[in-house]
Homo-oligomer: A and B are copies of this chain.
């Protein structure tokens, strides 16, 4: 990938990347619609660092229930995205203001999880990109626990391998697998240009059939 992440963050969109992933034959790369940004104005773009949660039903005394989670956060580097696979239970809010503060201090680009998040007003004030499966107060302690980091996971229907490019904006989140990253990004940058011409023609009142025939973009 010859473009730095900051450039992609400015010029690309989730919907365009999704179309280019489709065209490349990778059709399951968008997370389900239940994953939403806390702040629709922020764009998330970075490389995945994954954590895999297990549902638990007890917090044994003397055990640090956050051990691997803390290790992952403390190990985040610039432009990395914490990706938490919390499973389908929807019981836990593993992310909040303190983890956002710690992750941002490391230079992380943001976080994506299929669990819930909390402290949402404080996180919005920080302008830190958080994409989650909902909002709720229940801490993970005694409910869920990270059992592995930097392994392949699935989050809301999309497979995420460590190092994959994760891109999120107001339209949702897509995952670009490493192997096709260069090709997909190049196609997406080209498509953005084509969409501008299409939009202008439609705004002038041209028929959609004619504009689609000419540009092939919808």
Docked pose: A173 CA to B155 CA in angstroms: 26
Interface residues of A in 113-156 (CB under 8 A from B): 116, 118-121, 134-139, 141-142, 147, 151-154
Instruction: Name the one of B14, B22, B135, B207 contacting A33, with C-beta atoms under 8 angstroms.
Output: B135
Q: Could you say how many copies of this chain the assembly holds?
A: 6
Q: Is A99 an interface residue (CB 8 A)?
A: yes
* A33 neighbours in B (Cβ, 8 Å): 90, 116, 134-136
Contact between B15 and A96, CB atoms less than 8 A apart: yes
Please tell me the number of chain A residues within 8 Å of chain B, measured between CB atoms. Answer: 78
Contact of A120 with B40 at beta-carbon distance under 8 Å, contacts A54-B147, A102-B202 already known: yes
* A73 neighbours in B (Cβ, 8 Å): 208
Contact between A139 and B22, CB atoms less than 8 A apart: yes
Q: How would residues 13 to 41 of chain A score, 1 for a CB under 8 Å from any chain B CB and 0 otherwise?
A: 11101110010000100101110100011
Q: Is A55 an interface residue (CB 8 A)?
A: yes
Contact between B19 and A139, CB atoms less than 8 A apart: yes
Chain B residue at minimum C-beta to C-beta distance from A136: B33
Contact between A171 and B70, CB atoms less than 8 A apart: no
* A105 neighbours in B (Cβ, 8 Å): 202-205
Q: Is A112 an interface residue (CB 8 A)?
A: no
Docked pose: A142 CA to B199 CA in angstroms: 23
